[in-house]
Chains A and B, each alone.
Chain A
């Protein structure tokens, strides 16, 4: 598959230099020919049809496009798709299994951590990065870890509660 800016096509576009990259996306290797200028967020959404990753601001400010790159949160609108070659990334689609929600997703449901849901995928991945490092964060630590993600609806209160809910559930499950 080739993913260019204006189109996704079977063969490379004429005269457009591309590079073949293989990226492990949610545990599965995906091989794609991309233009070097293609942003990772756009490859995910247009090329791989993983539209759970949102682009809000496109200026590295909002965090809606946050994904995990080798386990650490990054803004996928600010990384080139070619840079992910040979790396492993996780998007919101990787959180739930076929039958079960991830505790972080459950937390957002239980504590009403979303209104419109636009910021939610980025919030959940930033939260996952935090909980992977610190399974018992304080409210302050949650707020700090999410401070690169903007939400225009909730006022953040319930998002913080959701993450604390998830932390508690994950601690209980790992016992």
Chain B
């Protein structure tokens, strides 16, 4: 398998990259880690006229926690950069838990966090984690930068709201209102498989009370499922068994699973419910221990 012909540029700055995208009026595509785009080019699901490879742009491979607790992930931060990093584990446990579950270790050396969010695969792990964390994407276009909240960023399967001449330069996760806890559970058939069902949970705790709650799902709908409405049932409350089971039921109801080779719709919905309960119960137990 090989792709159809395309032009190729590897600009050195974001401004140049944006100018090339702009000049091609929708016929150019950004190439980041290439771990979704190159397979699609080979299958000829994508046949752009021009590829704008952003890998030669300096200064985009970073992830950091600002003094105020805001987390910033640059466009060339690879999946593997987020694995086994103590600062990430402390600041955003949801991301630390998901990092080793994305694809396989070799794909993780190239694939990028931001590229995965842009790809908006309904089974993608990072779009779900970003949605639960209430993050936003910083897009840079010919007129400068703008912030796009996750709830407005992924709008369908493989669809984001970037303009054709915009590049996602950074993913931002806001500072927590209190202490951030969270987890990510994914059911996969084997290493490297996409999710049969997965659940991202991010909570901000003040003492033993939930100050902010986010939950999102992958693999159980035609797009990333934003279950933040269901999760908001926890806000102002404690993680009691009763509260946990009512939120788990509400999240499971928000899933839109379909029966396929990975399992029946009922099975996937049941997995979602179990995972939400398991994660929240685990968080309740560990916050009790910490207290």
Contact = CB atoms under 8 A, between A and B. Distances in A.
A148 B53 CA distance: 25
Interface of B: 1-8, 10, 31, 34-35, 38-39, 41-42, 51, 53, 55, 103-107, 109-110, 191-192
A94 B237 CA distance: 60
B110 A74 contact: yes
A17 B7 contact: yes
Contact of B2 (A5, A63, A82, A145): A5
Given A36-B51, A80-B34, A147-B191, A72 B109 contact: yes
B104 A147 contact: yes
Given A17-B7, A148-B104, A148-B105, A37 B2 contact: yes
A26 B41 CA distance: 28
Interface string A32-54: 00011111001000000000000
Contacts of B42: 39, 58-59
A13 B31 CA distance: 26
A82 B10 CA distance: 9
A82 B41 CA distance: 15
8 contacts: A37-B3, A72-B109, A73-B106, A78-B34, A79-B34, A79-B38, A148-B106, A148-B192
Looking at chain B's contact residues, the main secondary structure is: loop
Interface of A: 5, 16-17, 19, 35-39, 42, 58-61, 63, 66, 69, 72-75, 78-80, 82-83, 85, 126, 144-145, 147-149
A84 to B, nearest CB: 11
Given A60-B35, A60-B39, A80 B8 contact: yes
B55 A83 contact: yes
Contact of B110 (A36, A79, A145, A147): A79
Given A36-B51, A78-B34, A78-B38, A147 B105 contact: yes
Contacts of B7: 17, 36
A144 B107 contact: no
8 nearest A-B pairs in the assembled complex, by CB-CB distance: A148-B104, A36-B8, A148-B106, A147-B191, A37-B3, A72-B109, A78-B38, A73-B106
